[in-house]
Amino acid sequence: MDELVIIGGGISSLIPAIELSSKYHITIFDKKRKNDILARRILVAGNGRCNFFNEKLLNSDNYDVFYLHKLKDFFFNREDFPNAFFHYLTDKLSFSYYKEGDLYYPFFNRSESIYNFLISKIDSHISVNFNDVIKIDRIKKEVTYIANEKKSVKPYDKIIFAPGGFSYDREVDYSLLDSLRIPYRPFSPSLVPIKVREKTFSLKNQRLRGNCSLLVKGKIIYSEEGEVLFKEDGLSGIVIMNLSLYINELIKDGYNKDEISIQIDFSRYQGFKLISDLSAYPKFLIEYLKKNKIKNSKLLFHFQDFYPFKDSQVSYGGINIELLNHNFSSKEDKNLYAIGEVLDVNLPCGGYNIGSTLIESYIVMRDLWKK
């Protein structure tokens, strides 16, 4: 049997590990940590609830928005892969879920139920190697890893490259990506709180719902409703995390940080309108409005920076997806597949990230199954 090496025992590794053990000798490499477990991100996802999918991923008509655009030809080419994956998960593997709007959660509303479910399906014969890979040599077809403080080498026939990004609990280290000799965009934190120039200390830990807009040179370019959580020097909450994705896009397109601002209009929320006078306002808001001489319902904040990687859910940047065939293999090396967060595909909150990673790993699994 051919040797299949998977770099990164994250979410990307699960479906190939579940389905391909009768076809390949599989070795999964994952970084050495205090407690060695696969796919640890699932356990922290969605605040312990794991929002693993989004309904919008199932319909190609939704892929014309900028963040899904790059995936359209990959997901809907030979067949309708998002729906094929979803049938695989629910009909073949019999996974139970429930939905809140477009957002899919495990039936028991806990990360551990999808985690235990997927891990229990992995064949025990698969070799899981909790050691850091430091180099990939595509010419010799071997990976170098550190075991017991010594370098060791593992040859491969096929390799799935899925080391994720630098967010949350990772270090910034490009050496493995560099060894691959494939162009990539350097990472920046995304789905991350935002530091602003205004003083927000007096608002710290307060929450305010409203219509949040992203402005460039004072003009609104995107709006989303949601709840903002104030931090001592910035803004957080899912709506702000989503704005951070758009800000990354603006910076990529050459806009200056000084041109970017965020407006929170707290007078509208989900079709409801504020009609009360100041007496109905929370005290913290009255004080902030007075102190800053704000006469309307709009709070304006100027973008300063992102919070660091450790506060981010995903990393913006990565391998250019145009360098890949529609089966996620490299155009210049058909034995190399790249999937997951390491790709320069940058998605908002709402189950898009785990959902697309699972679909990508399903496509690769199907491709390797046929070989």
Q: Tell me which residues touch ligand FAD (CB under 6 A).
A: 7-12, 29-31, 41, 44-46, 50-51, 132-133, 162-164, 167-168, 176, 313-314, 340-341, 351-355, 357
HSE-up of residue 227 (Cα within 13 Å, Cβ side): 4
CB of 277 vs ligand FAD, minimal distance in Å: 39
Nearer to ligand FAD, 301 or 309 (CB): 309
Nearer to ligand FAD, 51 or 242 (CB): 51
- What is the spatial distance between Cα 298 and Cα 213, in angstroms, rounded to a whole number? 10
CB of 74 vs ligand FAD, minimal distance in Å: 15
Query: For the residues of 346-367, what is the DSSP string, one character each?
Result: ---SSSHHHHHHHHHHHHHHHH
Nearer to ligand FAD, 26 or 176 (CB): 176
360 is written with which tokens? 């990508």
Nearer to ligand FAD, 193 or 351 (CB): 351
Give the phi and the psi of residue 102 in degrees, each rounded to 5.
Answer: -90, -5
CB of 127 vs ligand FAD, minimal distance in Å: 14
Q: How many CB atoms lie within 10 A of CB 249?
A: 18
Q: How many CB atoms lie within 10 A of CB 209?
A: 17
Nearer to ligand FAD, 162 or 359 (CB): 162
Q: How many CB atoms lie within 10 A of CB 266?
A: 18
- What is the spatial distance between Cα 45 and Cα 350, in angstroms, rounded to a whole number? 11
Q: How many CB atoms lie within 10 A of CB 49?
A: 17
Nearer to ligand FAD, 46 or 234 (CB): 46
CB of 141 vs ligand FAD, minimal distance in Å: 17
Residue 290 buriedness (CB in 10 A; 0-12 / 13-18 / 19+): exposed
Nearer to ligand FAD, 113 or 167 (CB): 167
Within 8 A by CB and 6+ apart from 97, the residues are 52, 53, 90, 104, 105, 106, 107
Nearer to ligand FAD, 171 or 277 (CB): 171
Nearer to ligand FAD, 274 or 321 (CB): 321
CB of 132 vs ligand FAD, minimal distance in Å: 5
Give the phi and the psi of residue 104 in degrees, each rounded to 5.
Answer: -100, 135
The residue at minimum Cβ distance from ligand FAD is: 10
Give the phi and the psi of residue 334 in degrees, each rounded to 5.
Answer: -70, -10
Q: Per DSSP, what are the bridge partners of residue 314?
A: 190
- What is the spatial distance between Cα 108 and Cα 111, in angstroms, rounded to a whole number? 9
CB of 19 vs ligand FAD, minimal distance in Å: 16
CB of 29 vs ligand FAD, minimal distance in Å: 4
- What is the spatial distance between Cα 94 and Cα 359, in angstroms, rounded to a whole number? 17
DSSP state of 257: G
CB of 5 vs ligand FAD, minimal distance in Å: 11
Across the beta sheet with 142-147, the strand order is 133-137, 142-147, 150-155
Residue 19's nearest CA partner among 371, 369, 370 is 369
CB of 163 vs ligand FAD, minimal distance in Å: 3
Judge whether 257 and 215 are in contact, CB under 8 Å: no
CB of 259 vs ligand FAD, minimal distance in Å: 29
Nearer to ligand FAD, 114 or 208 (CB): 114
